Amino acid sequence: MPPSVTVALVGNPNSGSTSLFNALTGARDSVANYPRVTTELARRELTHRGVALRIVDVPGIYSFSSQSPEEKTGCDYLHNEAPDIIVNVLDAGNLDRGLFLTTQLVEMGIPRVTVLNMIDEARRAGIKIDTVTLASALAAPVVETCALKKEGVDALLDSIVAVAKAPPAQALILHSYDPHLEAAIGRVQTHLANLHPHDLTPSRSRWLAIKLLEGDDAVIRRESDHAALLAEIECERAELAHDHDHDVETMLAAARFSFAHGLLREVREQSGDPTSGFRLTRILDDIFLNRTLGLPLLLGILWVMFETTFSLGAVPTEWIKSGVALATDLVDRLLPAGMIHDLVVNGVMAGVGGTIVFLPNIVILFFFMAVLSGTGYLSRASFLMDQLMHRFGLHGTTLIPMVAGFGCNVPAVMATRVISNKRARLIAMLIAPFMNCSARLPTFILFAGAFFSKMAGTVVFAMYMVSIAAAMVSALLLNRLIPGSGGDAFVMELPPYRLPTLHSVLHHMWDSAQGFIAKVTGVILVGSIVIWFLQEFPRDITYSQDFAGAIAAQDSRPDGPAKVATLHTLQAAQAQEKLEKSYLGRGAIAVTPAFAPLGFSWRETAAILTGFVAKEVVVATYAVIYAQDKESVGLTEALKGAMSPATAIAFMIFTLLYAPCLSTMAIIARESGSWRWAGVSIGYSMAFAWLLAIAASRIGALMI
């Protein structure tokens, strides 16, 4: 027995293998109720009964014929790394389809454990499985689990260890195909054995022969040196297709399903109405997929989501605001006057405090996202939107990465792996940064609250709609601009509705809170310090007029309202000039002409420039700039005085659409395989943002 046993969790998309991975290892990887949440391998180690196990969560696959890029991740892993044990995760309520993959796993000849997951759901639907017969038919122990409730986890670990210690003797052929096909398999096997003497077991060569005859691209590529073999395969395939009226892949698929069907007739007992498990889903679909109500309901759900994110968030935000004010006041009095004092109070406390107040909004947003993805509604939304998105050259399933983008664009870009067509995936990747991620939410809440306080929630909702519209229009444009053609077929499983567990919803919220706090105490903290220094230095400014002299002259005058007013004006003008001549001001002013048509001052420009790093920094920058004002009236009031509502709209739209943040650029470069596409993304989004913002400011100026 090897010192460490590698155990791969393999199952159909949405069969719950990631939930099982979490239950086994104590990991907290993201799970949801739609196919293909997991797009990368995850590995964790643990020890059970003295045996070291390395558990690998493999992204879900329907079959081994490597189709979409993330199905390929799983297939490649199983081809190349050959785990010691495969844990075949099946959705106990959907065995008809799940066993199709099982038949292919059996042919691989790797020791297996069969898991009937979500067994509670199947039992409620009146399904009973004869696990003993199933285990002997599949030559692998069968364990019933409910991963979300951590049921059956110990039994599964016991079975894994038992298989690791004594792998069951593999029945070489669990089912046979059509005699002609079997004869062809035999011939190819012989050819393979001659090509690779000694290093192929009979079960391995049978598996390879089947894959080659099936036309599996990955396996064919690996045998590309053997022209004679490939010619033989082509010949066998053509002959079989000619004799049987079906091609080999169809013959194999039909035979596998018929084996699964026969097996299930033996081991599955269905009491009551087989559709009863479906009933709730049918009723809910009658409502949510209603031909007239479906789309308005989708819009309504999104409106409620963003309105609540704004309005419900306002209450705890006030508490945090008071807390921040108290803390700032305390630090202000405790620290002796000087540079450290100013840095802490006007830099760190202003920037960090000004951003942390949005924590409640972020957590509420993620609550809704967890509910949407956990219930299975997201797949319905894709289904409803497919027709419309198709018109824009997009695929309905693109909606899932797009909605994920409301949280953060990085996972959104990764989620485009669900799209199998390369060009369609690239377009999805380029429009993903337009999705209004939670890092931009603080800017909109701040601006909507300041300029449109009566309908702030709706303005926030409108920004999300602009974000979706920008993505769709861009898709249309990019479809024209990027050469090539070919969309992706809409082939999508719609899982039954499920109630997300409280645990998983809380976990999503907790994770988002932790992530936000980590950002605030990381990039925002550092950013605030840097911005403070940039706006504070250099200190030896030559002012355009002698402020010090003028102020001293005023001081010697008798007290009165006129003196106070003049002093105030002088001080404000001096502060203004000091900021404008700081490094931050000078840098921003140099770029401001580019934004002048939009009505932006150097402050907006500074916020935009710093926001390249991470979009939360936009608000932090404003907070630091305005904290320098000694007669502080608060960020909201200060903003109101600084620009017109039309400019505010232009700024919101620009912030929404301009260049992806650094992390998103990096992930686009990685996923597209080239920095060139990250560059295209920046250039395109800057131009698009600029044009849309100027249009918005012109229209806004007419309307408001």
Partner 1 sequence: MESGGNNAAMTLSELRPGQQGEVVRIDSADSAFKRRLSSLGLVPGAPVSLDRAAPFGDPRIYIVMGYCLGLRNIEAASVNIRLKECAS
The yes or no reply on residue 294 touching partner 1 (CB under 8 A) is: yes
- Angle made by CA atoms 390, 392, 396, in degrees to the nearest 5: 35
Dist. CA 58–CA 61, nearest whole Å: 8
DSSP codes joined into one string, 101-141 = HHHHHHHHT--EEEEEESHHHHHHTTEEE-HHHHHHHHTS-
Among 70, 107, 285, 616, binds partner 1 (CB under 8 A): 285
Stretch that binds partner 1, among 144-152, 188-196, 211-219, 341-349 (CB under 8 A): 211-219
Does residue 289 belong to the site contacting partner 1 (CB under 8 A)? Answer: yes
CB 255, min distance to partner 1, A? 9
394 binds partner 1 per the rule CB under 8 A = no
Quote the least distance from Cβ 495 to partner 1, whole Å: 8
Contact between 236 and partner 1 per CB under 8 A: no
Assess whether the previous peptide bond of 141 is cis (omega < 30° from 0): no
Classify residue 101 as exposed, middle or buried by CB count within 10 Å of its CB (0-12, 13-18, 19+): buried
Query: Would you count residue 249 as binding partner 1 (CB under 8 A)?
Result: yes
* Closest C-alpha to 81, from 125, 41, 115, 121: 41
Measuring CA to CA, how many Å separate 286 from each of 121, 125, 294?
A: 21, 20, 9
Select the residue interacting with partner 1 from 222, 246, 321, 563 (CB under 8 A). 246
94 binds partner 1 (CB under 8 A): yes
Interhelix angle 294-334/456-481, rounded to 10 degrees, is 110
Kindly write out the interface string for residues 151-190 of this chain, putting x where it contacts partner 1 by CB under 8 A and - elsewhere.
----------------------------------------
- Kindly state the smallest distance separating residue 350's Cβ from partner 1, in Å: 49
Query: CB under 8 A: which stretch of 49-57, 191-199, 382-390, 584-592 binds partner 1?
Result: 382-390
| Binding range to partner 1, per CB under 8 A, among 221-229, 277-285, 424-432, 627-635 | 277-285
250 lines the binding site for partner 1 (CB under 8 A): yes
**Nearest distance from residue 121's CB to partner 1, in Å?**
13
**Nearest distance from C-beta of residue 587 to partner 1, angstroms:** 51
Please provide the size of the chain in residues: 704
Distance, in Å, from the CA atom of 95 to the CA atom of 100, rounded to the nearest integer, reads: 9
The smaller minimum CB distance to partner 1, of residues 379 and 647, is found at 379
Closest-CA residue to 93 (of 400, 397, 497, 491): 497
Which two structure tokens, joined as six digits, stand for 416?
Answer: 């485009």
Q: In the complex with partner 1, which residue's Cβ is closer, 263 or 668?
A: 263
Candidate list 4, 190, 258, 322; residue touching partner 1; CB under 8 A: 258
CA distance 379 to 498: 12
Give the containing element (helix H, strand E) for 90: strand 85-91
Nearer of residues 244 and 341 to partner 1, judged by Cβ: 244
Q: Does 295 bind partner 1 (CB under 8 A)?
A: yes
Task: Establish if 616 lies at the interface with partner 1 (CB under 8 A).
Answer: no
Q: How far apart are CA 330 and CA 344, in angstroms?
A: 12
Query: Residue 415 is encoded by which pair of tokens?
Result: 């989620």
Nearer to partner 1, 31 or 384 (CB): 384
Buried b (16+ CB within 10 A) or exposed e, 336-348: eeeeeeebbbbbb
User: Under 8 Å CB-to-CB from 17, ≥6 apart: which residues?
Assistant: 9, 10, 11, 38, 57, 58, 60, 89, 117
CB of 172: closest distance to partner 1 in angstroms? 24
Q: How many CB atoms lie within 10 A of CB 179?
A: 8
Nearer to partner 1, 247 or 332 (CB): 247
291 makes contact with partner 1 (CB under 8 A): yes
**Nearest to partner 1 of 34, 306 (CB atom):** 34
- What is the size of the binding site for partner 1 (CB under 8 A)? 46
Q: How far is the CB of 268 from partner 1 (least distance, A)?
A: 11
Decide if residue 84 touches partner 1 (CB under 8 A): no
Mutual angle of helices 675-703 and 422-431, in 10-degree steps: 50
Alpha-carbon distance of 145 to 118, in angstroms, equals 6
Give the binding range for partner 1 (CB under 8 A) out of 465-473, 488-496, 592-600, 639-647. 488-496
Binding piece for partner 1, criterion CB under 8 A, among 280-288, 314-322, 330-338, 573-581: 280-288
* Cβ atoms of 554 and 563 closer than 8 Å: yes
222's CB contacts (< 8 A; 6+ apart) are: none
Q: Is 421 in the site for partner 1 (CB under 8 A)?
A: no
For partner 1, which is the closer residue by CB, 486 or 549? 486
Residue among 257 and 677 whose Cβ is closer to partner 1: 257
Minimum Å gap between C-beta 62 and partner 1 is: 4
Which residues contribute to the site for partner 1 (CB under 8 A)?
A: 62-63, 65, 67, 94, 96-97, 100-101, 214-215, 217, 245-247, 249-250, 253-254, 257-258, 274, 281-282, 285, 289, 291-292, 294-295, 379, 382-384, 386-387, 390, 396, 489-496
